[in-house]
A and B are shown apart, each in its own frame.
Chain A
Amino acid sequence: MTRRVGVIVNPIAGMGGRVGLKGTDGPDLLHRALERGAVPVAAERARRALARLAERAPAELEVVEVPTPGSAAQTRAAAAALAAAGVDLILFAGGDGTARDVSAAADSRVPILGIPAGVKMHSACFGATPEAAGEAAAAYLRDPGPHALTEAEIADAAEPADTELRRSAYRSGRQIDAAPDRAPLSTVLHGVALVPRAPGCRLGPKAASAGGGDGALEAACARVAAEVDPAALTLFGPGTTTARIERALGLEPSLRGVDAARDGRLVARDATEAELLALLAGATAGAGATAETPAAPGAPPAAHLVLGVVGGQGSLLGRGNQPLSPAVLRRVDRSRITVVADRRKLLALDPPQLRVDTGDPDLDHDLSGHVRVRVAARETLMCAVTS
């Protein structure tokens, strides 16, 4: 029997990421992304997923195409057309914004699956990587049906315009952020979609971090702050955990962007990839130093990168911190990457591993293996890292 898969690629998804924007939702942000020199990423990620799907697909597979959407309305229309055409699965490349539009049109009648290509991916409908999405789509299409489906939360970062949504989510008891004072980073639930049940392939929903009162994490942050060398260029990834470390150092964090500090002050706040590269170029004398080729005397110490872990996705790189591009990451020695996270957040990960998805498979491979995540002043948790 012929299976049918509908494919939607949001051509602008993810473009804002590397240029320091929090999304590419709407014409304004797209315009700003283009101004900053953004290049399309979704098509390439869709190609990677479809290549894997083609390898593993059932014998008879029909790919249903629709006109390429660009705006939210076009995405919804495309998804509605695919649903009306009776496809077995809608495979889309995009982020949380695309997921909201596709799931609204699919209306829990048609299963959906996301190829991760956005800036934000808080929803639980994305494959961990483009290849994993292709794999999960192929597995479902070989044996589709209700038994192979599960419900997934469609979420997005709360924007000021979402205040009313946040209130209604709260009223219905479904709000998934737990700390009102962390509102800028909270996630809002927009709906529930049917997605293929593919253990290990999908990202979990982003687990919003619990409120304060966590002594172990506080102590972990204090220790990392104490270990930051003021003379070194130190990059801080986004999130509440790295923000705690920045505050401990007397810095004012941007929370959702990548910050850079040196000599006790921020030298870039909510930086773009280009700004980070420029800063790193100034620190290259030390950045490339290794045990074999030590830095020249008087050279600045090697750059230091401090990262948190993104909620239930277990994402270390590639989700919300795209200014930390492959070019940036290649200029930071692996031994100079410090990861800090709430122990409970790590233990809630299923599967229990961190993921890197920088967009550069070679770099992802280099970054894979194990990383020690500091969870307390005197304790680290060894985490497997996969791409």
Chain B
Amino acid sequence: MSAFEPTRPLPRFHGAKWDEPVVMEMGRPGRRGQLLPQVEDDLAPLEELVPAGLRREQAPALPELSEFEVQRHYLHLSQMTLGMMGINLFGTCTMKYNARVNEHVTARPELAEVHPAQPVETLQGVLQLVHDFERFACELSGMARFVFQPGGGADAAYTHACVTRAWLAARGELEQRTEVITTIQTHPCNAATAAAAGFDVITLPLGPDGYPTIESLRAALSERTAALMIGNPDDMGIYNPDVREWVELVHEAGGLAFYDSATFNGVMSRVRASELGFDACMYMLHKTFGAPKGGGGPAVGAYGCSEELVPFLPRPLVTRDEEGRYGLEQVEDAPQSIGKVREFWGNVPVVVKAYAWVRALGAKGIRDAADLSVLANNYMDTRLAQVRGVQQTNPGVDKPRLEMTRWSLEQVREETGVDVHDISNRMVDFGVDAPWLAHEPWITPEPITPEPGELWSKEDVDTWIDVLAHVIEEAYADPELVRTAPHNHAIAQVDPSGIDDPRQWATTWRSHLKKRAAAGEEGPVGARSAGGVGVGAPEAGS
């Protein structure tokens, strides 16, 4: 193995820091952003226009600022926001460029100003987009139908648990088949949603090849098996080559097989869920399909299934008749449907952005994206393996990883006392974003999971690796520097000690005022008046 060589000078980054109070404490009485015209004389009096029960007795205590002051304040807040603006290889999230043109498209009145309760004759354009995107998803997966109601990946997993329940009930096996099988490296939402739907979960640990042994699956299967819910590759990038046999065994035992395709990026257009025998699968449109994510914003866990399970899908589903007219098949039309898992048709703007992504790439572009994401990760693997103290998980597995790889910094922690959180905190000092560590449970000590995807250039990937290698060298030379990071940001380290004490934090201004008043009577607590609210307040950095 050759020695590690940095490729370029490290970024000389420094974050902005604006020492401003929260907006509720800004402004002066009487200052206005907009001057509204006087009420016209011939309008009826307020008492006649607004019922008594809806009228305020006092005006709301809003801050009084000019438009410019408001705009400047929020610009400053965005500049002090850490993350998602640097080089971001946040593993399992498949970070992609969210094309700005999609925001303009989804803001058009044909989408932004329609309501799903309108007559379907007036929704033909939107319905066509949803219908066509469903065909794309079916083509990529081999599934018969898709529904876009679930509001995220976990919601889609829950949808599957509910579909499984309905399917079992229809076969008279709901009492008998009570167990769902998953694996320790499948996203924990699969185990959690199965348990929430009333199933007993059996989790399979990893075997010597980096995925669970088929013997452990056989030991778990029985006449009680309801479903298998797994990802492949798992989020360590290891693909289980026996997956087709796994699905066959589950079918022989009488259960359903669900493919959590959260890690679809590396196998897009190369692996179809139906060809592996799966009965259902899930894509995250806000990850793999280029729609924005983060901040708890709108998301879609697209859930697809085989013909056999279509009767149980949530409704409405989009239909198309022989004349090419689009319509909606409602819950009332589908007696076996599990009903709705979310309002109306789900987050349609996300579907439209995913539609735009598929149309922009085309079939060849999607295949190239998958191959590039695997190539980029294997390039990363080669360089990361040269960095001191960085060890690939499952070192005995010599197969190349797919679109991401889990690494362990345990050796660095053992030799320097500096852990992955410290290293994450220090990496952001160089203008790259913190790495993803790992889903719970951590079966790898001190994990990091970078995922370069097809977006990031070789220069970006190299810079990210150079920063990691530099920070690790710092950990050996000056561990205190890393432990006290970040040093180049508006916020240094936040003291989390009060996080379990609700007296010390508040999520609204009103709650903050109440808790501050209570603290004045009961003694000191963390809620403070200036600089922010509760423990999330910016603490002065160095």
Contacts and interface: CB of A to CB of B under 8 A. Distances in A.
A307 to B, nearest CB: 17
A346 B205 CA distance: 10
Interface string B268-284: 00000000000000000
A372 B216 CA distance: 10
A344 B441 contact: yes
A384 B443 contact: no
A341 to B, nearest CB: 13
Contacts of A379: 191, 195, 200-203
A346 B202 CA distance: 14
Contacts of B195: 376, 378-379
Contacts of A343: 441
A378 B200 contact: yes
B215 interface: yes
Interface in B190-246: 191, 195, 199-206, 212-213, 215-216, 219-220
Contact of A380 (B203, B206, B442): B203
Given A352-B206, A378-B195, A379-B195, A370 B201 contact: no
Interface in B152-194: 184, 191
A369 B195 CA distance: 26
Nearest to B200: A378
A382 B212 CA distance: 10
A352 B205 contact: yes
How many residues of A sit at the interface, in one of the four size bands? 10 to 19
Contacts of A384: 205, 213, 215-216
How many residues of B sit at the interface, in one of the four size bands? 20 to 34
Contacts of B204: 382
A381 interface: yes
A375 B201 CA distance: 10
B219 A378 contact: no
Nearest to A348: B443
A376 B188 CA distance: 14
B202 A347 contact: no
A347 B185 CA distance: 12
B180 to A, nearest CB: 9
Q: Is the interface of A mostly helix, strand, loop or mixed?
A: strand
Contact of B205 (A344, A376, A381): A381
Interface string A343-387: 110110000100000000000000001101001101111111000
Interface in A221-238: none
- Among A346, A375, A378, A381, find the residue whose CB has the most chain B CB atoms closer than 10 A: A378
A384 B206 CA distance: 10
Interface in B392-430: none
A385 to B, nearest CB: 10
A372 B202 contact: yes
Contacts of A382: 202-205, 212, 216, 219-220
Contacts of B199: 378
B319 to A, nearest CB: 38
Nearest to B199: A378
Nearest to B219: A370
Nearest to B208: A351
Nearest to B198: A378
Nearest to B217: A382
A361 B434 CA distance: 51
A376 B215 CA distance: 23
A347 B205 CA distance: 9
Contacts of A381: 184, 202-203, 205
A97 B63 CA distance: 73
Nearest to B215: A370
Nearest to B207: A384
B202 A380 contact: yes
Contacts of A383: 205
Contacts of A378: 195, 199-201
Nearest to A370: B219
B441 A369 contact: no
Contacts of A376: 195
Interface in B417-471: 441-443
A198 to B, nearest CB: 16
A380 B201 contact: yes
A345 to B, nearest CB: 11
Contacts of A347: 184, 205, 441-443
Nearest to A353: B205
A370 B207 CA distance: 12
Contacts of B201: 378-380
A354 to B, nearest CB: 11
A372 B221 CA distance: 12
Contacts of B184: 347, 381
Nearest to B441: A347
A220 to B, nearest CB: 12
B404 to A, nearest CB: 21
A375 B442 CA distance: 15
A204 to B, nearest CB: 14
A343 B195 CA distance: 16
B444 to A, nearest CB: 10
Nearest to A375: B203
A211 to B, nearest CB: 16
Contacts of B442: 347
Contacts of B206: 352
A384 to B, nearest CB: 7
Nearest to B396: A199
Contacts of B213: 384
Nearest to A384: B216
A372 B441 CA distance: 18
A334 to B, nearest CB: 12
Contacts of B203: 375, 379-382
9 contacts: A347-B443, A369-B219, A378-B195, A378-B200, A380-B200, A380-B201, A380-B203, A381-B205, A382-B202
Given A381-B203, A382-B205, 17 more contacts: A347-B184, A347-B442, A370-B215, A370-B219, A372-B202, A375-B203, A378-B195, A378-B199, A378-B200, A379-B191, A379-B202, A382-B202, A382-B203, A382-B204, A382-B219, A383-B205, A384-B205
Closest 8 pairs (CB-CB, A-B): A370-B219, A378-B195, A379-B201, A382-B216, A381-B203, A382-B204, A347-B443, A352-B205
Interface of A: 343-344, 346-347, 352, 369-370, 372, 375-376, 378-384
